[in-house]
Chains A and B, each alone.
Chain A
Amino acid sequence: MNGSLALENVTKRFGSFTAVDNISLELKEGEFVALLGASGCGKSTTLRLFAGLETVTEGDVKLQGRDVTKASASERNIALMFQSYALYPHLTVAQNIAMPLKLRRLSAVQRLPGAHLLSAGVKSQEEDIQQAVKKMSEMLRLDQLLDRKPGQLSGGQQQRVALARALVRDPSAFLLDEPLSNLDTQLRAETREEIRAIHQRTGYPFLLVTHDQSDALSMADRIAVMMAGKIVQVGTPAEIFNTPATQEVATFIGHHRMNILPAGVAQQLHESTSGLSLGIRPEELTIVQEGGLPATVDTVTFHGEETILKLRGPNDLVLRSVLRGRSDLPNEGEQVLLGANRNALHGFDSDGKRAEIAK
């Protein structure tokens, strides 16, 4: 029962503070969307609005076209994986995974210990649940750990339990709150692939909430960039990276922060940019022999595959350049000329909006 989940013109206020400001975002069937933003931008609140853990102040929430604005979290049947995993510490792994099914399929009386001894109906339900738990635990390689308590598991194992608990009940959508932030680098890469694989296998609409742009770029079909409670750009990872809609998005996305040349300095690099500031990714800013922007090399930092130069340009403007390869590295204190391919330049007007550069 997959389908689309959408926020329509949703605003959420806490007292006088507006956490989420008139946003619309849709998770289409089978789609993997990333909600990307710095901490405090309102992305976690947005996730809670999707899940039904917070109620909207204004606007509507739609699930498969149905209005679920007033529906509770469990009525929406949306799975949520918490950043802290939020496993029940007193229950075993198997009991944790079984809990969503038990809460949905059995009444409070039927959940009492020993109820399956008295009622054949409860017994067959319990057996179904055990089957589902077994299937899910095999899929996520948890079958050896079913009798352990969460406290006895490693971080990665706990996360797989949280995944299993979220997925065991055929949810209408799957929301992930910063799923990778508690993992070390090695496990991060594996988990990215694992989550991608689960998405492809299950086909649920996925919403990944993250502050890490590389998680969003590498995993999502579509990215919504959120800043100060507003969604400032929605697009494919390539669109977000190659044509950022605002200067803020441009400097937020990318492993190395984009260089911004203010209007005056920009013209020294590219003549037809009157009134625009220019953005150049450090990977695109290279040393040229003639006709570039003069700059002094402040520091040279060797990072293995790449070397990062910190430079001082006109008006003491700090610039960064990332060079690949090991040849022709300048020395600290050396005067160099900087240049960039025209296609790699991003123009922004005085409001920070993207502006096309005349060719």
Chain B
Amino acid sequence: MIRRWTTDIILVGPAAIALILFIFLPVLIVFVLAFTDYQFGASSANWVGIENFADLFGSDLGRKAITNTLLYAAIVIPTSVGLGLLVAVGLHSISKTLPRFSNALKAIYFLPVAATLVAMAVSWQMLMHPSLGLFNHWAVALGFSPVEWLTDQNTVLYSLAIIGVWQSVGYNMVLFLAGLTSIPDTLYDAAEVDGAQSGWSRFWLVTWPMLGPTTLFVLIVTAATAFRVFETVATMTRGGPAFASDTIVYALYREGFVYFKAGYASAITVVFFLALLLLTVIQLLVVERRVHYR
């Protein structure tokens, strides 16, 4: 009995210690710091209760970062999931008639996923440059007035959302493609025999419900990426102009690593962590029940 117990400890021990030391402990420290006014390098800290949280939700700046992130996610999640599905269904349907063309397109759509976003941001910055950029060049050629993609307070968040969608469509497409290949062909035959004449009605009768588990997974992954938006903000706009593109993770970085306000940054982290956790739990509880047919 004792021997078995020791074996268990020896087997589980190293991983458990690593987990506690590198994950649980730091998380615990962050949770504690969130209630202090600790600054990096300071030798002491004061307990300030929920002041950090009040700051985040009470100040214009904190609220701006939260609403910006929500708006960004509200654009990026449905658009990139929808486009990913559209592209996947399209490529799947031509994969039998035009296999090479379909494979080439798959690779192209997947490129942004494989590319480093920070490096890609430079290209996007050039494309979106107000006077030299290709986008405005085209806009003028087509008779539109040039757009201040990254320097106008009212457009900058949408410009970043376009890049966010561009970056995640390929990944979502690959996931949906995998889901599509696992749908048995006989279900489509059955739908056709049963009278689903149009591709549209077969999509709603077979494809959409059979993709349920895939869609749930894609939603969770895309939501997690969208809420964590950081690279494009940090490299292209630094939250500007006038905090119009300030997001939660960028604010967290700025407060923690530029202003060294570790307590406040920890509070942002805690809020962000709890929000993502809540979102995932809700998605799992509500949607999971509807997508697994057992």
Q: Which residues of A pack against B, CB within 8 Å?
A: 48, 51, 53, 72-75, 78-80, 82-84, 86-90, 99-100, 103-104, 108, 149-152, 165, 169
Interface of chain B, main secondary structure: helix
Instruction: State the CA gap A53–B197 with chains docked (Å).
Output: 12
0/1 interface trace, chain B 184-198, chain A, CB 8 Å (1 if under): 101101101111110
Contact of A90 among B192, B194, B293 (CB under 8 A): B293
A-B contact pairs, 21 of them (CB 8 A): A51-B189, A53-B193, A73-B192, A74-B192, A74-B196, A80-B193, A84-B184, A86-B186, A86-B187, A88-B187, A88-B205, A88-B206, A88-B209, A89-B293, A90-B293, A99-B194, A99-B205, A103-B205, A150-B293, A151-B294, A169-B195
In the complex, are the beta carbons of B184 and A86 less than 8 A apart? yes
Residue of B nearest to A152 (CB): B294
Instruction: State the CA gap A103–B206 with chains docked (Å).
Output: 13
Residue of B nearest to A150 (CB): B293
Chain B positions 168-222 with a Cβ under 8 Å from a chain A Cβ:
184, 186-187, 189-190, 192-197, 200-201, 205-206, 209-210, 212
Number of chain B residues close to chain A: CB under 8 A: 20
In the complex, are the beta carbons of A103 and B195 less than 8 A apart? yes
Q: Which A residues are CB-close (under 8 A) to B293?
A: 89-90, 149-151
* Minimal beta-carbon separation of A206 from chain B (angstroms): 15
Q: Which B residues are CB-close (under 8 A) to A75?
A: 197
Interface of chain A, main secondary structure: mixed
In the complex, are the beta carbons of A103 and B201 less than 8 A apart? yes
In the complex, are the beta carbons of B194 and A165 less than 8 A apart? yes
With A84-B184, A149-B294 known to touch, is A89 a contact of B196 (CB < 8 Å)? no
Contact of A108 among B187, B201, B209 (CB under 8 A): B201
Q: Which A residues are CB-close (under 8 A) to B212?
A: 90
Q: Which B residues are CB-close (under 8 A) to A108?
A: 200-201
Contact of B209 among A83, A90, A151 (CB under 8 A): A90
Residue of A nearest to B189 (CB): A53
0/1 interface trace, chain B 78-102, chain A, CB 8 Å (1 if under): 0000000000000000000000000
* Minimal beta-carbon separation of A154 from chain B (angstroms): 14
Q: Which A residues are CB-close (under 8 A) to B196?
A: 74, 103
Instruction: State the CA gap A87–B191 with chains docked (Å).
Output: 10
Q: Which A residues are CB-close (under 8 A) to B209?
A: 88-90
Q: Which A residues are CB-close (under 8 A) to B206?
A: 88
Q: Which A residues are CB-close (under 8 A) to B186?
A: 82-84, 86
Q: Which B residues are CB-close (under 8 A) to A86?
A: 184, 186-187, 189-190
Given contacts A88-B209, A108-B201, A151-B293, 18 further A-B contacts (CB under 8 A): A48-B189, A51-B189, A74-B196, A75-B197, A80-B190, A82-B189, A84-B184, A86-B186, A86-B190, A88-B187, A88-B205, A89-B293, A99-B194, A99-B205, A100-B193, A100-B195, A103-B194, A103-B205
In the complex, are the beta carbons of A74 and B197 less than 8 A apart? yes
Contact of A74 among B195, B205, B294 (CB under 8 A): B195
In the complex, are the beta carbons of B193 and A74 less than 8 A apart? yes
The 3 closest A-B pairs by CB, nearest first: A103-B195, A86-B190, A90-B209
Q: Which B residues are CB-close (under 8 A) to A103?
A: 194-196, 201, 205
Instruction: State the CA gap A339–B197 with chains docked (Å).
Output: 61
0/1 interface trace, chain B 250-294, chain A, CB 8 Å (1 if under): 000000000000000000000000000000000000000000011
Q: Which B residues are CB-close (under 8 A) to A48?
A: 189
Residue of A nearest to B194 (CB): A100
Contact of A82 among B190, B201, B210, B294 (CB under 8 A): B190
Q: Which A residues are CB-close (under 8 A) to B294?
A: 149, 151-152
Q: Which B residues are CB-close (under 8 A) to A51?
A: 189, 193
Q: Which A residues are CB-close (under 8 A) to B193?
A: 51, 53, 73-74, 78-80, 100
Instruction: State the CA gap A72–B198 with chains docked (Å).
Output: 11
